[in-house]
Amino acid sequence: MTPAPGSPGDVLTLISAGSATTRSDLARLTGLARSTISQRVDALIESGLVEESESGESTGGRPPRQLRLHTDGHAFAGVDVGATHCRVALMDISGEVLAECEDPLLVTEGPEAVLAHVDTRLDRLLAEAGRPRSALRALGMGVPGPVEFATGRPNNPPIMPGWNDYPIPEHFEDCVVLVDNDVNVMALGEHRNAFPGTGHLLFVKVGTGIGCGIVAEGRLHRGAQGSAGDIGHIRVSGHDDAGCRCGNSACLEAVAGGAALARRLTELGVPAATGADVVALVQAGDTLALRLVREAGRHIGEVLAGLVNFFNPEVIVVGGVLSRVHEHLLAGIRETIYRRSLPLATHHLSIVPSRTGEDAAALGAGLLAIEHYLSPDNINKIVNA
């Protein structure tokens, strides 16, 4: 469980995290003898998990042979199933994207249709990358609804008719499948890609609805039923007239979600159907749309201010369609958070737009799969086999 850090899995963890790139690094970090490390590294190379690259720079003596993950022979997939699109990324074990595609696809077409689509795209991407299907080691998938993570089954998802309790992993017989909520995988993607050193991070997705992915101590917090982060139905003050599809009123989503903004704009005589339309209007210089977006930022900020006090994150990342006009959205969010949160919690808090963009979900889903595969336990199993 916890004693001397030394198993092959631990060694690989250090290599994949970039904490160690040479055998001597590993010896220093693990406290194991150099000879033992050499043996461990040999085993990892033997298993096809690690390779040597060209020699590094000398520090006065013989230059060390650099180690890195062996990126051939394996493949991992990250799948982003959205309400109206499907993105599939093929990645190598280091997290590099080998090939990627996105197609319009309605999640309402049901699991068989969507998963069949994923299968065809997967085969195409594998062919593009020149790897056989058998190279696929694990697949991560983000879906737009709550999921029981342990079993990979959607849990009464409101916008995924036909998916309830559907055993997604069983569709892919040949590899491990991990399924999670889309906002969770986006949070993971953003964290690993742009804020790897951050302990506690919130990723807020402002799209049609509003959701939040939670990273605590570097790991995803899913909560007891896997429904953590569902902040779209938190009450905002002063909007008791705004009815929400959930049956309550004054929900954040009903006040500041993309769909709500579009509806409101339409009411005010500026036709808009979706969050993307709202963004387009803002970008076209429509002052009314701009005002609404900024106002939405304030409402989101009100909710986030409470969550900052409660959770005390280091970083809040704002993503989703609306973040395309993040200058305006963030202004409102920042304004309210800095006014309503405690100084101790805001002092070192960064509130930033997504750096990973459209790709965060597929990337994060892939990373979920890769990190599962690279877990020390799993690696030890592979090496000992």
CB 51 within 8 A of CB 85: no
DSSP E strand stretches across 293-384:
315-319, 350-353
Q: x/- site string to DNA, residues 62 to 101, per CB under 7 A?
A: xxxx------------------------------------
**Segment 195 to 224, residues that bind a copy of itself, using CB under 8 A:** 199-200, 212, 214, 216-217, 221-224
Q: Say how many C-beta atoms besides its own lie within 10 A of residue 59's C-beta.
A: 9
Q: Are 309 and 345 in contact (CB under 8 A)?
A: yes
Instruction: Tell me which residues in 15-44 interact with DNA (CB under 7 A).
Output: 22-24, 31-36, 38-39, 41-42
6 binds DNA (CB under 7 A): yes
Distance (Å) of CA 143 to CA 185, 297, 353, 361: 9, 25, 22, 9
Q: Name the minimum Å distance from CB 349 to a copy of itself.
A: 8
Q: How many residues bind a copy of itself (CB under 8 A)?
A: 64
* 250 interface partner picked from a copy of itself, DNA, none, CB below 5 to 8 A per type: a copy of itself
Instruction: Kindly tell me which residue out of 60, 104, 247, 271 binds DNA, with binding defined by CB under 7 A.
Output: 60
- With CB under 7 A, what is the number of residues at the site for DNA? 25
Q: Is 315 helix (H, G, I), strand (E, B) or coil?
A: strand
- Pick 16 or 193: Cβ nearer DNA: 16
DSSP states of 20-60 = --SHHHHHHHH---HHHHHHHHHHHHHTTSEEEEEE---SS
Give Cα 187 distance to the centre of its chain: 4
Q: Does 4 engage in binding with DNA (CB under 7 A)?
A: yes
**Residue 306 binds: one of DNA, a copy of itself, none (C-beta under 5 to 8 A by kind):** a copy of itself
Quote the CA–CA distance of 312 and 227 in Å, as a whole number.
20
Q: Which of 32/89 has CB closer to a copy of itself?
A: 32
How far, in Å, CA of 290 to CA of 285, rounded?
8
Q: Minimum distance from CB of 240 to a copy of itself (Å)?
A: 8
Is the CA virtual torsion 261, 266, 271, 273 positive or negative? positive
Query: Which residues of the chain form contacts with a copy of itself (CB under 8 A)?
Result: 1-7, 9-10, 13, 146, 155-156, 199-200, 212, 214, 216-217, 221-231, 233-238, 240, 246, 248, 250, 302-303, 305-307, 309-314, 339-345, 347-349, 376-377, 380
Query: Which residues of the chain form contacts with DNA (CB under 7 A)?
Result: 4, 6-7, 22-24, 31-36, 38-39, 41-42, 55, 58-65
